[in-house]
């Protein structure tokens, strides 16, 4: 069976360097907020092209802490509205509600399935304060008009870049478009730790300063607490391993792009809709997501042919019990997508033979069978 993501194969390619990095941390005797973190933060800020990077415990905290920092800085108040695409992973929405703000879920753009300026116009209210575009599946789209709207209306923009390390539009990478961005280093992400991890990028020095305090009990000087913070730090072991994997990220992304190009060229089946390919560089192919009206039959067919798949995501946030109070609104495109999407195997360690097997299995699908 070809797994949708073979994490063991992904990390095996870095095994010796990862072990050397861990050994250095173990022997250093310093395990939280040390030089491995500072070095990784500088490297990841440079990689994205932003002034600051703040490592935190995970991607959810990265997003939530930005919103909480904006509150601490007086830029947001309880109950302010954050517009977010409804077809996202639930963490985008949890970050908003955890921070005492109100999520406004809207259907995504029918063309690229991200947040678009045209789509969100009717949802702007006097309480709208933040736009949260999600670079879903690794694709960055529609940022110039979105930023123009945000500047015109004096709105803050928080990119959910958890799936989009290195994706770029007009030569600018994810993490540099908005006022801040949250990244995840969950093991399955394009830049994955061997445990939990996350980071914020921003070019706002005041925000970066507040975030460094918030992630560390609201303290910059030991036992002096300016804010009610949390404990959410990227530890030295994870930071050291992420520095190793960051060196290979562009090559890994290139391999993902080749796999995606092979799928796009090779899969030809009237029942399978292929993902849209935007401008060069805009997609880092965290996931290769096709659509099929007979999705469940396609998934069974592929499993029988030895091809693993996954669904991102089977139940949108507003249909979860956790957000029962948001279930009322009509979000037809989001619901349609949740019934039709299917993620094919994708990753830097997929072999050409596996890619060919996936393509053949897709091309053999008929809904009647
Ligand atoms: C993974 C992910 C997150 C959360 O990241 P964690 O590190 O798992 O907390 C947030 N948003 C999106 C779109 C994600 O894919």
Can you give the CATH number for the domain in which 170 is found?
Answer: 3.40.640.10
181 and 303, same structural domain?
A: no
127 and 187, same structural domain?
A: yes
313 and 193, same structural domain?
A: no
Neighbour-count burial of 222, counting CB atoms closer than 10 A to its CB (0-12 exposed, 13-18 middle, 19+ buried): exposed
186 and 130, same structural domain?
A: yes
Contact 62, 182 (CB under 8 A): yes
Tell me what the mean pLDDT of segment 320-325 comes to: 95
Q: Which of 59, 67, 115 to mutate to test the pocket of ligand 1 (most atoms within 8 A of CB)?
A: 59
The residue whose CA is least distant from atom 14 of ligand 1 is 162
The residue whose CA is least distant from atom 5 of ligand 1 is 59
Token pair for 54: 């703040």
Q: CA torsion angle for 39, 41, 44, 50 (degrees, to 10)?
A: -130
Q: Using the predicted structure, report yes or no on whether residue 95 has a pLDDT greater than 90.
A: yes
54 and 170, same structural domain?
A: yes
Q: Using the predicted structure, report yes or no on whether residue 331 has a pLDDT greater than 80.
A: yes
Contact 301, 320 (CB under 8 A): no
Q: Using the predicted structure, report yes or no on whether residue 369 has a pLDDT greater than 60.
A: no
**Predicted pLDDT of residue 112:** 87
Q: Please tell me the total count of domains within the chain.
A: 2
Helices 295-304 + 352-363 axis angle, to 10: 130
Q: How far is the CA of 92 from the centre of ligand 1 (A)?
A: 7
315 sits in the region (left: phi over 0; alpha: psi -120 to 50; else beta) called: beta
Tell me what the mean pLDDT of segment 39-62 comes to: 98
Q: Using the predicted structure, report yes or no on whether residue 329 has a pLDDT greater than 90.
A: no
Lowest-confidence region among 174-178, 217-221, 230-234: 217-221
Does residue 1 belong to any structural domain of this protein? Answer: no
| Residues 6+ away with beta carbon under 8 Å from 20 | none
261 and 240, same structural domain?
A: no
The residue whose CA is least distant from atom 10 of ligand 1 is 91
102 and 203, same structural domain?
A: yes
Ligand 1: nearest atom to the Cα of 185: 7
pLDDT tens, position by position, 243-265:
999 999 999 999 999 999 999 99
Nearest alpha-carbon partner for 190 in 144, 142, 262, 135: 135
Does residue 368 belong to any structural domain of this protein? Answer: no
Q: Using the predicted structure, report yes or no on whether residue 24 has a pLDDT greater than 80.
A: yes
> CA quadruple 75, 80, 85, 89: dihedral positive or negative?
positive
Contact 232, 61 (CB under 8 A): yes
Contact 95, 71 (CB under 8 A): no
177 and 311, same structural domain?
A: no
310 and 232, same structural domain?
A: no
311 and 347, same structural domain?
A: yes
Token pair for 241: 């391993």
Gyration radius (Cα) of the chain, Å: 21
Final residue in a domain of this structure, among 190, 222, 246: 246
Does residue 19 belong to any structural domain of this protein? Answer: yes
337 and 207, same structural domain?
A: no
Tell me what the mean pLDDT of segment 150-161 comes to: 98
Measured between alpha carbons, how far is 254 from 280 in angstroms, rounded to an integer?
A: 12
Q: Using the predicted structure, report yes or no on whether residue 134 has a pLDDT greater than 70.
A: yes
| Residues 6+ away with beta carbon under 8 Å from 246 | 40, 43, 44, 47, 191
> CA quadruple 248, 251, 256, 257: dihedral positive or negative?
positive
Q: How far is the CA of 116 from the centre of ligand 1 (A)?
A: 20
Ligand 1: nearest atom to the Cα of 189: 1
Strand residues in the chain grouped as ranges (E): 52-56, 81-85, 102-106, 128-131, 156-160, 168-169, 172-173, 180-184, 198-202, 219-221, 224-225, 288-291, 341-344
Task: Give the pocket of ligand 1 (CB within 6 Å).
Answer: 58-60, 88-89, 91-92, 134, 160, 162-163, 184, 186, 196, 198
Q: Which of 163, 198, 200 to mutate to test the pocket of ligand 1 (most atoms within 8 A of CB)?
A: 163
Final residue in a domain of this structure, among 231, 246, 261: 246
Q: Using the predicted structure, report yes or no on whether residue 322 has a pLDDT greater than 90.
A: yes
Token pair for 272: 């399978």
148 and 52, same structural domain?
A: yes
CA angle 179, 106, 115 (to 5 degrees): 45
Measured between alpha carbons, how far is 329 from 309 in angstroms, rounded to an integer?
A: 30
**Predicted pLDDT of residue 111:** 86
Q: Using the predicted structure, report yes or no on whether residue 271 has a pLDDT greater than 60.
A: yes
Does residue 369 belong to any structural domain of this protein? Answer: no
Q: How far is the CA of 60 from the centre of ligand 1 (A)?
A: 6
Does residue 202 belong to any structural domain of this protein? Answer: yes
Contact 161, 53 (CB under 8 A): no
CATH of the domain at 314: 3.90.1150.10
Final residue in a domain of this structure, among 196, 225, 246: 246
Predicted confidence band of residue 97 (pLDDT cuts 50, 70, 90): very high
Q: How far is the CA of 271 from the centre of ligand 1 (A)?
A: 30
Does residue 280 belong to any structural domain of this protein? Answer: yes
| Residues 6+ away with beta carbon under 8 Å from 214 | 65, 68, 69, 72, 227, 229, 230
**Predicted pLDDT of residue 328:** 85
Domain that holds residue 145: 7-246
Q: How far is the CA of 59 from the centre of ligand 1 (A)?
A: 5
Q: Using the predicted structure, report yes or no on whether residue 242 has a pLDDT greater than 90.
A: yes
Does residue 173 belong to any structural domain of this protein? Answer: yes
Q: Using the predicted structure, report yes or no on whether residue 82 has a pLDDT greater than 80.
A: yes
Q: Using the predicted structure, report yes or no on whether residue 229 has a pLDDT greater than 80.
A: yes
The residue whose CA is least distant from atom 2 of ligand 1 is 162
Q: CA torsion angle for 224, 55, 174, 255 (degrees, to 10)?
A: 180
Q: Provide the total of helices (H) and of strands (E) in the chain, helices listed first.
A: 13, 13
Tell me the average pLDDT of the chain: 97
Contact 214, 230 (CB under 8 A): yes
Q: Using the predicted structure, report yes or no on whether residue 208 has a pLDDT greater than 90.
A: yes
Q: How far is the CA of 34 from the centre of ligand 1 (A)?
A: 25
Q: Which of 91, 105, 194, 238 to mutate to test the pocket of ligand 1 (most atoms within 8 A of CB)?
A: 91
Q: How far is the CA of 90 from the centre of ligand 1 (A)?
A: 8
Q: Using the predicted structure, report yes or no on whether residue 240 has a pLDDT greater than 60.
A: yes
């Amino acid at each position: 069976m070809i797994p949708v993501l073979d994490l063991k194969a992904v990390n095996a390619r870095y095994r010796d360097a990862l072990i050397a990095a861990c050994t250095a941390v173990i022997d250093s005797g310093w395990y939280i907020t040390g030089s491995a973190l500072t070095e990784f933060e500088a490297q990841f800020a440079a990689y994205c092209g932003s002034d600051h990077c703040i490592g935190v415990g995970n991607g959810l905290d990265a997003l939530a802490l930005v919103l909480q920092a904006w509150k601490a800085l007086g830029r947001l108040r309880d109950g302010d509205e954050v517009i977010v695409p409804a077809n996202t992973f639930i963490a985008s929405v949890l970050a908003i509600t955890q921070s005492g703000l109100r999520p406004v879920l809207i259907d995504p753009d029918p063309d690229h399935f991200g947040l678009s300026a045209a789509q969100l116009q009717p949802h702007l209210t006097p309480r709208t304060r933040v736009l949260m575009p999600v670079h879903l599946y690794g694709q960055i789209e529609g940022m110039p008009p979105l930023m123009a709207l945000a500047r015109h209306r004096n709105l803050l923009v928080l990119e959910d870049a958890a799936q989009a390390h290195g994706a770029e539009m007009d030569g600018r990478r994810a993490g540099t478009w908005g006022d801040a961005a949250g990244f995840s280093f969950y093991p399955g992400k394009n830049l994955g730790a061997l445990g939990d991890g996350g980071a914020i990028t921003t070019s706002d020095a005041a925000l970066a300063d507040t975030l460094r305090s918030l992630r560390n009990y609201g303290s910059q000087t030991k036992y002096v607490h300016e804010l009610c913070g949390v404990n959410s730090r990227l530890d030295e072991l994870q930071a050291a391993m992420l520095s190793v994997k960051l060196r290979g990220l562009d090559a890994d992304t290139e391999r993902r792009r080749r796999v995606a190009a092979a799928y796009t060229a090779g899969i030809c089946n009237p029942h399978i809709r292929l993902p849209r390919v935007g401008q060069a560089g805009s997609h880092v192919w965290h996931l290769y997501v096709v659509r099929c009206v007979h999705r469940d039959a396609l998934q069974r067919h592929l499993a029988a042919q030895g091809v693993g798949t996954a669904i991102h995501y089977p139940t949108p946030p507003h249909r979860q019990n956790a957000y029962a109070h948001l279930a009322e609104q009509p979000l037809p495109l989001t619901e349609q997508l949740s019934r039709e999407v299917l993620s094919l195997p994708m990753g830097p360690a997929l072999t050409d033979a596996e890619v060919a097997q996936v393509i053949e299995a897709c091309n053999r699908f008929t809904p009647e069978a």
